[in-house]
Amino acid sequence: MTNFLSLADVTNLDALIQSGLDAKANPFADQHLGKNKTIGLIFFNSSLRTRLSTQKAAQNLGMNVITLNVGAGQDSWGLEMEEGVIMNGDKAEHIREAAAVIGRYCDVIAIRAFAELKDRDKDYREQVMHQFAKYAGVPIVNLESATRHPLQSLADCITIQEAQLKSSLIPARPKVVLTWLPHFKPLPQAVANSFCEWMNVRANAGHVEFVVTHPEGYELAPEFVGNARVIYNQDEAFAGADFIYGKNWSSYTHYGQVLTQDPSWAVTMADLRLTNNGKFMHCLPVRRNLKVADEVLDSPQSLVIEQAANREWSAQAVLKEILKTM
């Protein structure tokens, strides 16, 4: 693996999930791989889990870690991504120099840059990731981009597989449901897109049955929703489900808009009772009692803490693959 921008960079998903589980069982087995190697963690947006889990994973592999918050008023200059422009605005440094310079200090660069939710075509072009990949000269890792959050999706796959290993009550081909949750703020589609992308591959391989449920108007981009079954009635979608994956996203069609805040889409224990003792998953952070009831998050059916813990092992599995090529 030379870059990890999306699922397309993964050649063997089963092996990568197993590598995450192996790292969890034996975190320091590959410390030699990262010795005298440095990873730069570049954040255009806030983070708790991604920042800490990726740093921890890199350290488990023996790497040195540098973190930089980008943007005016942050650690570094605002970065201009457009080519050929007169830089007379608030961006003091161009990505051509910035990426090339960071690439001289770091052996791997990992970047978080969310969708701006103003211009759909611009967001879906993934300009920040592609500009870093073009000019850095070292492997690039996606820490959540405009359209995807692949380290989260890998952690989600690890979490589902781990839950199956722990419980004989979960079937070999579980029903996994991605449900939209209400929120008053417009949030990116990246986590939902990515989860669909990865679950569709798991479904095509016969590992899961995958269903997506959301109010009308919240259809995800066709290239992400793929062949997933879309059901507009949440109760119907939840029937017999083994895993409920909650996430809010803003509209793709009416780009970046909040079309409804219907509280009936929030997940409660009454909703979970429609499932097959279904486990609840969410990437976090989550706003309690707006998107999910306390009673769900605090119940034994919630996997959210273990899911967040597995971010360390998904990052470690990916960094290991990249370090093996150096």
For the residues of 101-165, what is the DSSP string, one character each? Answer: HHHHH-SEEEEE----SS-HHHHHTTHHHHHHHHHS-S-EEESS-SS--HHHHHHHHHHHHHHHH
Within 8 A by CB and 6+ apart from 220, the residues are 189, 192, 193, 196, 212, 249, 252
SS3 state at 201: helix
Q: Measured between alpha carbons, how far is 32 from 53 in angstroms, rounded to an integer?
A: 19
Please name which of 19, 13, 8, 7 lies closest in space to residue 323, comparing C-alpha atoms.
19
Nearer to ligand CP, 37 or 148 (CB): 148
Q: Which of 7, 13, 24, 47 lies at the binding interface for ligand CP (CB under 6 A)?
A: 47
Could you say whether residue 284 binds ligand CP (CB under 6 A)? yes
Binding segment (CB under 6 A) for ligand CP, from list 169-177, 220-228, 244-252, 283-291: 283-291
Q: Measured between alpha carbons, how far is 151 from 312 in angstroms, rounded to an integer?
A: 9
> Across the chain, how many H-helices and E-strands are there?
12, 11
* Closest CB to ligand CP: residue number: 50
- Assess contact for 95 and 135: CB atoms under 8 A: yes
Reading across the β-sheet that carries 38-43, which strands appear in turn? 64-69, 38-43, 108-112, 140-142
HSE-CB at 306 with a 13 A cutoff on CA atoms is 19
Known binding residue 174? Answer is: no
Q: Least distance to ligand CP from the beta carbon of 311, Å?
A: 7
Known binding residue 53? Answer is: no
Q: Least distance to ligand CP from the beta carbon of 305, Å?
A: 12
Known binding residue 183? Answer is: yes
Could you say whether residue 48 binds ligand CP (CB under 6 A)? yes
Known binding residue 149? Answer is: yes
Burial 229-250, CB ≥16 within 10 A → b, else e: eebeebeebbeebbbbbbbbbb
Q: Least distance to ligand CP from the beta carbon of 72, Å?
A: 21
Could you say whether residue 183 binds ligand CP (CB under 6 A)? no
Q: Least distance to ligand CP from the beta carbon of 144, Å?
A: 6
Known binding residue 284? Answer is: yes
Q: Which of 152, 248, 302, 316 lies at the binding interface for ligand CP (CB under 6 A)?
A: 152
Structure tokens at 147: 């359209």
- Assess contact for 123 and 169: CB atoms under 8 A: no
Binding segment (CB under 6 A) for ligand CP, from list 33-41, 47-55, 221-229, 250-258: 47-55
Please name which of 104, 148, 164, 97 lies closest in space to residue 283, comparing C-alpha atoms.
148
Could you say whether residue 283 binds ligand CP (CB under 6 A)? yes
Q: Site for ligand CP (CB under 6 A): how many residues?
A: 9
Binding segment (CB under 6 A) for ligand CP, from list 96-104, 157-165, 179-187, 281-289: 281-289
Binding segment (CB under 6 A) for ligand CP, from list 42-50, 92-100, 237-245, 264-272: 42-50
Known binding residue 50? Answer is: yes
Q: Which of 3, 6, 19, 50 lies at the binding interface for ligand CP (CB under 6 A)?
A: 50
Nearer to ligand CP, 80 or 244 (CB): 244
Nearer to ligand CP, 49 or 175 (CB): 49
Known binding residue 148? Answer is: no
Structure tokens at 237: 């979608």
Q: Measured between alpha carbons, how far is 221 from 124 in angstroms, rounded to an integer?
A: 10
Could you say whether residue 49 binds ligand CP (CB under 6 A)? yes
SS3 state at 167: coil
Known binding residue 150? Answer is: yes
Binding region: 47-50, 77, 112, 144, 149-152, 183, 247, 283-284, 287, 311
Name the residues that contact ligand CP, by CB under 6 A: 47-50, 144, 152, 283-285
Binding region for carbamoyl phosphate: 47-50, 77, 112, 149-152, 283-284, 311
